[in-house]
Structure 1
Amino acid sequence: MAANMYRVGDYVFFENSSSNPYLIRRIEELNKTASGNVEAKVVCFYRRRDISHSLIQLADKHARDLEEENESPSEAELTDKQKHQLRHRELFLSRQYESLPATHIRGKCSVALLNETEAVLSYLDKEDTFFYSLVYDPTQKTLLADKGEIRVGPRFQADVPDMLQEGESDERDQLKLEEKLWHPECPLSSKQIDQFLVVARAVGTFARALDCSSSVRQPSLHMSAAAASRDITLFHAMDTLHCHGYDLSSALSVLVPAGGPVLCRDEMEEWSASEAAMFEEALEKYGKDFNDIRQDFLPWKSLTSIIEYYYMWKTTDRYVQQKRLKAAEAESKLKQVYIPTYNKPNPNQISVTNGKMATVNGAGPGGYHAAGGGRACESCYSMQSAQWYSWGPPNMQCRLCVSCWMYWKKYGGLKMPSRAEGPEEKTPPSPVPNEPRSRGHGPRQSSHMVPVRNSGSPKSSTKTKQAFLLQATRLTKLARHMCRDIIRLRRSARRPFVPINCGAIKAECKSSFNS
């Protein structure tokens, strides 16, 4: 029951396709629709396979910079398999939200901000555990460091001065280090100070009535008085008292100089109604990420101004009203939802029928031999599995065992690089259209064929998938000439996945040598 109960804040696997890897999302809200179904509003995480090659290079550079700065073990010390699998654990956070049916949830996982003080191998030791350190913007196609990263290293540490020895005096000028703003033992009583502050508020209200711009923003006397009662007016009044030696008559004359009453305004009054509305919209989207608020909504405001406005905004009735509305909305939302374990057969699942392999829906690749004659698992190369799953394009006729299939679904890659793809797989192998046929047989049927990347062809440079050809060894070339009746090249090339009778070839070669 607990494993199938999903709550707000959980990291979960979502399935949007039977053949593609799971999506990784964080649940932000659970809403019940008018039709009675439950939808989850989620934050999106992206895998390395989901972003461009140029951004992957940027992410690798960021990782190398962190290793050099923190003096952590280099990735070069990891084995090739560990490096390969560790890339499957890396995610990229995004600010993108989407709504998905809750019935597509396939289980829980764990996503954490990369701990730069912890060994990266610790993430491989935990099941269904992922990490991230960069934020991906799918619209702008950018990668940036997360604002919440752990800042460890000499660049972020304070320089602590040496401890003074006994009898050693501090040579710093204390007058330059601090400034006294108020004397608690002043000659004025608390009642006199309060009376002076009331006068300062009254002067502030009168000053707003005389100011044209303030009259537009504060159309009523009540709003003007409320604005004059804010901290900026009180701070000015107390500073005036302190600067004039707590002499009330002298301080009063400064509140109303010859030019008219002094008007003190803070950020709440400097912002227009439209700017305030934009700020609330940005706060709803980004939270307290003031850099993004400034960049996308209020670029003409300084960061200091936005932060100051936020803390003043939190003291207003507007903030209280929005807080009440959000609390009411939260009560109407679901706190948790129960999703039964998904146990329907996957369309990619291969079943045994009449000695051959076929997919459960009958539409997938056939031609697999059940009694050990089929292709091995494309990842771990095992020939034995309780269940097989078709993987990749149907014409490639690749398959995965149960263990590698679940690894593919959860981590978006294979335990070891596929032989059909090479060392750095990104998506399932697909045939290259219009590519000339290779001279020889399929990549798995002859032990004398060596796959070689075809990077010299001008045609291959224009394709999205990198092509490869099969280069024959000398022994294979010799066998072709000596066994022309057994190996019919044209027929074998058209049927690359049909095994060649190696025993007959050896017998023919032996008889030719003896004769």
Structure 2
Amino acid sequence: RIEELNKTASGNVEAKVVCFYRRRDISNTLIMLADKHAKEIEEESETTVEADLTDKQKHQLKHREALYVTPSTESLPAKHIRGKCSVALLNETESVLSYLEKEDTFFYSLVYDPSVKTLLADKGEIRVGPRYQADIPEMLLEGESDEREQSKLEIKVWDPNSPLTDRQIDQFLVVARAVGTFARALDCSSSVRQPSLHMSAAAASRDITLFHAMDTLYRHSYDLSSAISVLVPLGGPVLCRDEMEEWSASEASLFEEALEKYGKDFNDIRQDFLPWKSLTSIIEYYYMWKTTDRYVQQKRLKAAEAESKLKQVYIPTYKPNPNQISTSNGKPGAVNGAVGTTFQSQNPLLGRACESCYGKFIGPPTPLVVLGIEPSGSLPLNCIPSSFFFFFPWILLKSFLFL
């Protein structure tokens, strides 16, 4: 996957890419693990579409499977680009046949780490199905008792049918914000972080103060006098802080550095940069950080950088290797005396191969009897590349000289 295009000092264009591996690029042990994982997914799924596939379709489906590499990028010359394909996370709600019907479409469900040669299931999951949809119970009749276990249910924190008017509630919220501003003026650490009255009032007007005020009203049955007395107890006014105030400047800098490196992978951010913070705290801080001027400035800088970067590059038409074997109009042809064999468009990096060898070692399986391939698994003599006959006498001569 191309992340970005960069122009080098020499004038060449390089593509920063994320790699995907194919099954043929990993060891047989890992292929067995991948097959086991695929079988488990098939057993868990409610549909049995794959059981109705033909052997050819199953073989083609395996070649459509890719392995996502752990987040790491490589820089490659743009001239290596050959075409465009689509790679998506395996969709549990979509039929596997849809991947075969679309050209140049691949899927992945496993993450491959080439450094330690391991396969892991992707964290992504589509939350669709009975495991994630709530069962809505029938409405209780008047006088009918609720037999559900109350400890497992949510806690009610607000009553829309309260005796207070909207104006009275708004006035109480103003009092709560004023108490929060006064509490910050008395707190030494808050005075350092918010040296001005304007900053203290802005901090006291955030959601954490309003949520606490609403909760206090509900817990005291919407009695204004009781709720106000709780906001200002004998020990001093109540100070409510959110994650934006709790974090220090150094922790905020670490978070921005981690976000630049890992993106929104909060587990890695916590593990490598902020292990003393809880995952809930980091996520809450992230959404508050997105409302700050700091985030807006960084977003503008990134947008300016994106404008200056290359957005497209001209890729000349790919010229096939002259050694590639092909026949016009799909008619039978011959090579090295192999009469009656047809040829397909093949990857030039794989060298010469007739359909017999291509079907056995590269492409879809074909009956061995029809193709005349020896049971031992060796290549037929008439399918050996012609370059072999040039180098083989030279190898024999060198062996003779060393004897």
TM-score range, shorter chain: 0.7 to 0.9
Structure 2 match to 1:84: 59
Alignment of 1:21-170 (within 5 A): 26-33=1-8, 35-73=10-48, 78-94=53-69, 95-139=71-115, 141-151=117-127, 156-158=131-133, 160=135, 163=138
TM-score w.r.t. the length of structure 2 is: 0.73
Query: Does structure 1 conserve the Cα–Cα contact (< 8 Å) formed by 2:208 and 2:241?
Result: yes
Query: Does structure 2 conserve the Cα–Cα contact (< 8 Å) formed by 1:110 and 1:128?
Result: yes
Alignment of 1:491-506 (within 5 A): none
Q: Structure 1: how far apart are the matches of 2:177 and 2:311?
A: 47
Give the SS at the match of 1:130. Answer: strand
Query: Does structure 1 conserve the Cα–Cα contact (< 8 Å) formed by 2:87 and 2:106?
Result: yes
Deviation (angstroms), 1:65: 0.8
One-letter amino acid of the structure 1 residue matched with residue 124 of structure 2: G
Question: Pick from 284, 304, 328: which aligns with 2:304?
Answer: 328
One-letter amino acid of the structure 2 residue matched with residue 42 of structure 1: V
CA pair 187-67 structure 1, distance change in 2 beyond 3 A: closer
CA pair 142-170 structure 1, distance change in 2 beyond 3 A: farther
Q: Structure 2: how far apart are the matches of 1:168 and 1:236?
A: 33
CA pair 313-159 structure 1, distance change in 2 beyond 3 A: closer
One-letter amino acid of the structure 2 residue matched with residue 451 of structure 1: S
CA RMSD, aligned part only? Answer: 4.4
Question: Pick from 405, 415, 419: which aligns with 2:363?
Answer: 415
One-letter amino acid of the structure 2 residue matched with residue 60 of structure 1: D
Q: Residue 342 in 1 paired to residue 332 in 2? A: no
Structure 2 match to 1:399: 352
TM-score w.r.t. the length of structure 1 is: 0.59
Q: Structure 1: how far apart are the matches of 2:135 and 2:112?
A: 36
Query: Does structure 1 conserve the Cα–Cα contact (< 8 Å) formed by 2:49 and 2:95?
Result: no
Deviation (angstroms), 1:104: 2.1
Q: Structure 2: how far apart are the matches of 1:77 and 1:387?
A: 29
Query: Does structure 2 conserve the Cα–Cα contact (< 8 Å) formed by 1:81 and 1:416?
Result: yes
Q: Structure 2: how far apart are the matches of 1:62 and 1:251?
A: 57
Alignment of 1:472-487 (within 5 A): none
Structure 2 match to 1:490: none
Residues 187-224 of structure 1: CA deviation (Å, up to 9, x unaligned): 4563x655544443343234334434444544555443
Deviation (angstroms), 1:63: 0.7
Deviation (angstroms), 1:114: 1.9
Deviation (angstroms), 1:259: 1.5
Deviation (angstroms), 1:113: 2.3
CA pair 391-330 structure 1, distance change in 2 beyond 3 A: closer
Deviation (angstroms), 1:68: 0.7
CA pair 38-219 structure 1, distance change in 2 beyond 3 A: farther
Question: Pick from 374, 385, 393: which aligns with 2:336?
Answer: 374
Relative to total residues, which structure has the larger strand share, 1 or 2?
1
Alignment of 1:70-469 (within 5 A): 70-73=45-48, 78-94=53-69, 95-139=71-115, 141-151=117-127, 156-158=131-133, 160=135, 163=138, 171-172=145-146, 179-183=156-160, 186-187=163-164, 190=167, 193-218=169-194, 221-244=197-220, 246-343=222-319, 345-346=320-321, 349=324, 374=336, 383-385=341-343, 399-400=352-353, 414-416=362-364, 450-451=375-376
Query: Does structure 2 conserve the Cα–Cα contact (< 8 Å) formed by 1:232 and 1:265?
Result: yes
Structure 1 match to 2:396: none
CA pair 307-51 structure 1, distance change in 2 beyond 3 A: same
Is there any run of 5+ residues in structure 1 with no aligned partner, and where? Answer: 1-25, 352-370, 393-397, 423-443, 453-467, 469-493, 496-515
Residues 45-80 of structure 1: CA deviation (Å, up to 9, x unaligned): 121233343332222121101111114437676555
Residues 362-397 of structure 1: CA deviation (Å, up to 9, x unaligned): xxxxxxxxx956275xxxx974559998766xxxxx
CA pair 205-415 structure 1, distance change in 2 beyond 3 A: same
Deviation (angstroms), 1:230: 1.5
CA pair 214-61 structure 1, distance change in 2 beyond 3 A: farther
Residues 120-150 of structure 1: CA deviation (Å, up to 9, x unaligned): 3443343322111222233454433333333
Give the SS at the match of 1:338. Answer: coil
One-letter amino acid of the structure 2 residue matched with residue 229 of structure 1: S
Structure 2 match to 1:359: none
Query: Does structure 2 conserve the Cα–Cα contact (< 8 Å) formed by 1:109 and 1:129?
Result: yes
Deviation (angstroms), 1:265: 1.2
Q: Structure 1: how far apart are the matches of 2:63 and 2:373?
A: 33
| Deviates most, 82-91 or 57-66 | 82-91
One-letter amino acid of the structure 2 residue matched with residue 283 of structure 1: L
Query: Does structure 1 conserve the Cα–Cα contact (< 8 Å) formed by 2:270 and 2:282?
Result: yes
One-letter amino acid of the structure 1 residue matched with residue 249 of structure 2: A
Deviation (angstroms), 1:333: 2.8
Deviation (angstroms), 1:319: 1.8
Q: Structure 2: how far apart are the matches of 1:58 and 1:224?
A: 57
Q: Structure 1: how far apart are the matches of 2:100 and 2:148?
A: 54
Q: Structure 1: how far apart are the matches of 2:15 and 2:296?
A: 27
CA pair 337-160 structure 1, distance change in 2 beyond 3 A: same
Bigger Cα Rg: 1
Q: Structure 2: how far apart are the matches of 1:91 and 1:265?
A: 47
Residues 438-483 of structure 1: CA deviation (Å, up to 9, x unaligned): xxxxxx9xx997527xxxxxxxxxxxxxxx9xxxxxxxxxxxxxxx
Residues 274-296 of structure 1: CA deviation (Å, up to 9, x unaligned): 33233333333444343443344
CA pair 194-84 structure 1, distance change in 2 beyond 3 A: closer
CA pair 37-250 structure 1, distance change in 2 beyond 3 A: same
Query: Does structure 2 conserve the Cα–Cα contact (< 8 Å) formed by 1:134 and 1:144?
Result: yes
| Deviates most, 244-253 or 227-236 | 244-253
Give the SS at the match of 1:93. Answer: strand
